[in-house]
Structure 1
Amino acid sequence: MAEVSASPVAVEVHERVATLTLDNPARRNPLSVTTMTALTTALRELGGSGEVGAIVIRAEGPAFSAGHDLTELLDRTLEDERHIFAVCTELMETIQEIPQPVIASVQGAALAAGCQLVATCDLAIASEKAVFGTPGVKIGLFCSTPMVAVSRAIGRKRALQMLLTGQTVDAVTAADWGLVNEVVPPEQVDVRARELAGQVALASPLTLKIGKQGFYRQIDLPQRDAYAEMSEVMATNAMACDAQEGMSAFVEKRTPMWLGR
């Protein structure tokens, strides 16, 4: 296991799975500008690595992330405030732009921008003890940027319920609403997230890139336009070496040898 970077975000790579750990448990892992920048940098570095097939984002302590560092939002200029949310947007967009699937491993509370982070990840595993919320309305700062990711994950009515009341939902409800994929016992959350990442990382890296990028490109298109775009994507995908190898291996009942092209 190789350590790639350190605090505020620890990064490890093992058997084609990278793990990014938020490591400020005493402050409930706030998404400060420094932390968000470190996450973005690490994701971009890993995104360009052919040695990484999937990425897990996890956290130390009782909270996954309580959201933005509120001390950074007090007594600042408008340009300062704009910068903070621009850094946040860059992080969220990077998660969905890099070729590898990103999996959130949520052991505790994911609130405000922390909930946004979970909603933005491609997949999410939650502990039975995890809770999710967008409580900004309670402190006079509506969770407008978390709303972008959360509403796309769970739909309008459920998102507005979270946003307007500021109340948290438990992990089982989050799974029922589509905010997370699975709920597991607390001691299994990291294990299951890494297991899922390992399963994903078995696929051709080229195929994962094509599939992930295609998913986000088509998801908000009208159905006819989505079919038109994805038909072309699938036709060109079928011509790739890895697709030809994978189909041949399936027919010949052998394990494929991915070339990444």
Structure 2
Amino acid sequence: MILEERRNDGVALITLDRAPARNALSIAMLDALSAALLRAEDARCVVLAANGPAFSAGHDLRELTAARAEADGGREFYARTMALCSRVMQQVVNHPVPVIAAVEGVATAAGCQLVASCDLAVATPHSRFCTPGVDIGLFCSTPAVAVARAVPRKAAMEMLLTGRMLGAEEAREIGLINRVAEDARTGALELAQQIAARSGLTIRMGKRGFLAQAAMPLAEAYDAASAVMVENMMAADAEEGIGAFLGKRAPQWQDR
């Protein structure tokens, strides 16, 4: 269901491996992804990929439909599913190191939400993205949380209200993904290697600070960011990095 590989460069590769079900995010898949993300917290960067023709088709509709047979019509199961999915998406956002989506094939509904939750995303020219809940009478309200934070408001609303499929170039233009590459996994790993080659302390501190200030009003954001800069300047890696730059040599990171 989930494959994990820890590479020599410090990059953790997590692969969704439920191809026959188009990597649908069942309860079991979400639990497995959560556990894999937890195990990757000591990595330098994470790449999230998928096997098969779809990155992820979103929630497992067969699993959701089966729950209607419960005495409460499925309400408790639906609430548990949405709560778990929301927790995993927040786990991606708040992961201590950058998480990069490598999107080959389609990413729809909660699958698109997963892409939008990642810090960066690389897709192939043939990748497609949509939030098609309106087509089946189910507005993509939880995917909207991630999508609305990744793309401009009107672009998000068009995706959500029409369910229209976006091609890779359009997804890049609106900011849902960063890059288009012939091989998304290779492109994502190359990007991860660039990040992993930097000071791990700086990357972790920078991601944490970025997320914190983004949720603040302007003046508070500058105060918070200034405090992070001071903390960062006091780190050994900042002293080493500045010294290496001035001395025209490669830095030797200590991650402290």
Q: Which moved more, 1:73-82 or 1:226-235?
A: 73-82
* Counterpart check, 1:181 vs 2:178: yes
Using the size of structure 1 for normalisation, the TM-score is: 0.93
Matched residue, 1:58: 49
1:98 and 1:118 mapped to 2: Cα distance?
14
Report deviation, 1:255: 2.0
Tell me how far 1:229 sits from its aligned partner.
0.8
The letter of the residue matching 1:253 is K
Query: Partner of 1:35 in structure 2?
Result: 29
Which 4+ residue blocks in structure 1 deviate beyond 3 angstroms? Answer: none
Equivalents in 1 of 2:111, 2:206: separation in Å? 26
Which structure 2 residues correspond to residues 14-93 of structure 1 after superposition, within 5 A?
Answer: 14-15=7-8, 16-47=10-41, 49=42, 52-74=43-65, 75=68, 76=70, 77-93=74-90
**Aligned match of 1:106:** 103
Shift of 1:220: 2.8
Q: Distance in 1 between matches of 2:95 and 2:237?
A: 19
- 1:222 is displaced (CA, Å) by 1.8
Q: Deviations over 1:13-52 (max 9, x none)?
A: 11211111111111111011111111111111111x2xx2
Letter in 2 for 1:86: A
Provide the C-alpha distance between the structure 2 equivalents of 1:258 and 1:38, rounded to a whole number of angstroms.
33
Superposed, 1:1-261 pairs within 5 Å as: 8-15=1-8, 16-47=10-41, 49=42, 52-74=43-65, 75=68, 76=70, 77-185=74-182, 188-261=183-256
Partners of 1:93 and 1:206 lie apart in 2 by: 21
Which string of whole-angstrom CA distances, capped at 9 and with x for unpartnered residues, describes residues 182-236 of structure 1? 1122xx2111110000000011111111111111111132222111110111011
Query: Identity of counterpart residues, as a percentage?
Result: 48
How much has 1:143 moved relative to structure 2? Answer: 0.5
User: C-alpha deviations, 1:133-161, integer Å up to 9, x for none?
Assistant: 00011111110000000011112111110
Moved more, 27-36 or 67-76: 67-76
Residue identity matched to 1:105 = A
After TM superposition, give the deviation of residue 81 of structure 1 in Å. 1.0
Q: Which amino acid aligns with 1:157?
A: K
Q: Partners in 2 of 1:68 and 1:91 — Cα distance?
A: 13
Unaligned runs of 5+ in 1: 1-7
| Partner SS for 2:48 | strand
Gaps of at least 5 residues in structure 2 are none
For the residues of structure 2 that align with 1:35 and 1:171, how far apart are their CA atoms?
26
